[in-house]
Amino acid sequence: MFRLRFAGAALLTMALLTSLARAANSAPAIDAFRAAFASVNDYTYKLHSHEILGTQVQDRIYDYSFMKPHFAKTYIEAGDGQGSGGVWAGGDQVSGHQGGMLSFVHLKVDLHDSRATSIRGYTIPDGLMQDVVDTYANVPGKLTQSDGGTVSGEPTDRLELIVDNPSANKGVSRQVLYLSKSTHFPVRQLLYAGDTLVLDQTFYDVHTNVGLTQNDFPF
């Protein structure tokens, strides 16, 4: 009886370790990004986002600013919600304002409030480049790396993640990320639900260590 219990416990432990191993994907491009990011205190960039949810389509250009450890600011430069902006300082709230005539009204809302997310529910921190890369490491699935060719004028590495459980990943079943071979930062991301492209993002005009301070993130 003791041997049977021990064998059962051993099998359970092996299954748990296998599950944890599946949840921690690895690739040289992820390691290269993390090494590059370690030397960065802050950055700014523009994010062109084309997003689809059913019959809804949302096109935006975001101006992003980030400072370690957890300060982020976005401004919608063009597209749906133009003129709106938000600041995240860690935690579960966003301080923001709408565009147009209501731009002077600042509110603090939940991080996942529809006024602070995209149509598919992506939050301000979801758009941070390190958080984008982290999904490829942390979402359970099969991750592969290959040469990505030239994307937006940049020679790239390509990561492709086939997701184990799309229902736990906003319905996304396949993710593709292109990272610059020179800077190791993201250049483009494509997300699919089945065969349907639901998110197409381009990261550009990236500047690192620009000297941001906490005053740049009024919360």
Q: Say if domain 25-81+122-216 classifies as CATH 2.50.20.10.
A: yes
Q: How far apart are CA 99 and CA 79, in angstroms?
A: 11
Question: Quick check: 179 and 160 in contact, CB under 8 A?
Answer: no
* pLDDT tens-digit map of 141-168: 999 999 999 999 999 999 999 999 999 9
Within 10 Å of residue 218's Cβ, how many Cβ atoms?
Answer: 10
Q: How far apart are CA 75 and CA 165, in angstroms?
A: 32
| Edge-to-edge strand list for the sheet holding 196-208 | 106-110, 93-97, 85-88, 71-79, 56-67, 42-53, 196-208, 186-193, 174-180, 154-163, 141-151
Question: Quick check: 60 and 76 in contact, CB under 8 A?
Answer: yes
Count of residues in the chain = 219
What is the structure's pLDDT at 91?
A: 94
0.75 surpassed by pTM? yes
Domain map (residue ranges) of the chain: 25-81+122-216
Question: Quick check: 63 and 46 in contact, CB under 8 A?
Answer: yes
Q: How far apart are CA 83 and CA 101, in angstroms?
A: 10
* pLDDT tens-digit map of 91-117: 999 998 876 544 555 789 999 999 899
